[in-house]
Structure formats: C-alpha cells, structure tokens
Amino acid sequence: MIKKYTVITGASSGIGRSAAIKFAEEGKNLILAARNEAALKELKKELESKCQSSIIVKSVDLSKEQEVKEFWASLGDYQIETFVNNAGFGKKTTVEQMDLEDISEMIDLNIKALVYLSTKFVAQYRDVAGTTLVNVGSLAGYSIFNESVVYSASKFFVSAFTEGLAKELEVNKHLLKVKILAPGPVETNFEAVAKNVSTVNYQETFPQYHTADQMADFLLELVNSDKVLGKVNRDEMTFSLVDGIFEKIGFESSK
C-alpha cells in the first residue's frame, strides 16, 4: 500500500506543531517543514517515540522563492492527502513605521509561497479523492486590525484566494477540497514576533484567546467537515464552520 502524507508548513512551533501532534495521533504520516531544523528534529523524535507514523522533516525558508520551488520539487516522490499551508508571520506597527523589507518578506511568505504551493497542489491533486488543502488565514483576514494593516491585507488575500479556489473547484466538480482556517488570538510566539519582544503575557494582553492545541483541534474539525471556512468569532471566541463569507459572483462550470 502506498503511504499517504500530510504536509504541514510552519510546523516547528505554534499551531503547526500542535497540528502535527494531532495528525500523528490519528496515525497520519507527516512531512513537516519550517526554518528551525533543530525544533523539527526534536518534534520528529517526540512523535516517533509515541506514534507509528512516518515523520519526514524539511528545513526550508518559504519566504525565499527558490526554496519554495525546491521544497515543492522535493515532495514529488510522496503521495499527499492533506496539505496545510500554515507558515506565516505578522508585524505590529503602523504602515508608515514599517520596514519595507518586513513588508516584502510578509508578502513573500504569507501570499506568494502559499499561492505557489496551493497552485501546484491543486494542479496535481484536483481529481484525487480524499485530498484536502487547508490554508491557515486569520480573523485579520476578515477584519482590519489597528497596527496590523499590512498583515490584515495579506490575510484578506488568503481569505479571498482560498474561498474563491474552493468555489472554483466545486463548480468544476473536482474532488480536491479546499478550506481556510481563520484563528483569532492564539497563545504562540506569533505575537512576540509581531511586537519584536521576547515574550507576551496573553492573559494580560487578550481578554480571550485560544491555545495552539485548541486551534489544532479546530483545524482537524475543519478538515473532517464538509465546510470551507472554520472561523473564530471575535466577540465570543467561539469556533464555527461555514460555507464561506465572501459573495461569489459569476462562477459557472467550465467543464
């Protein structure tokens, strides 16, 4: 029997790491990608000590176009059933104070790498039953947050791209399912990176938030559902599964 793999980018910490653990507990074979090779190897050792899954780790900087292309090429020998585009980052500051290199890197990682990998995956697996693409967006992809305008804009792209791609595949009767996860505040190192500080006290910063483990559970719930969007409600921090939010105009089957 051919082994099938779940690919997770940004797997060395946060939601990606927790999702890797959850998938492995379900017996899934994993290909885990991130820049932090040491953290990936540590996670691989941890998972192999308690699961029978095959764990492959790949150190890659997905903000660099050539490495994105090489990463996709390296997956050619594997049969993929689920692809989770989770890698991304934000910076918390006003647009006028933001470093242009940070903006460029954010666009390269949050948008360009995600689109490249999504497009390649769809082209190869669109008619393979049981396959799923999950792009990890954000509540910021459905709301514009103060001092996160560029990040919000990058995630609005992810939201529109993913919802549109899901609809496109649906109307053309392809088998691949496309979904988007839109978390709110999650207790990871994301906020510390965004604020350029060593740590963030989430209890003091946010009235409500989720843990990475909770969000990983939501991700698996989304994957196992027939819905396109798994979104956190900002006011109540509840999680809901819906068909999507954006109005879809003019979609007709081209088959």
| Active-site residue list | 151, 155
Q: Are strands 229-232 and 177-182 parallel, antiparallel or unpaired?
A: parallel
Chain centre to alpha carbon of residue 201: 24
Q: Provide CB contacts within 8 A for 106, sequence distance 6+.
A: 89, 90, 91, 150, 151, 154
Task: Report the C-alpha dihedral over residues 153, 154, 157, 162, rounded to 10 degrees.
Answer: -140
Residue 155 near residue 132, CB atoms below 8 Å: no
Angle between the 37-50 and 14-25 helix axes, to the nearest 10 degrees?
20
**Token pair for residue 167?**
């609809």
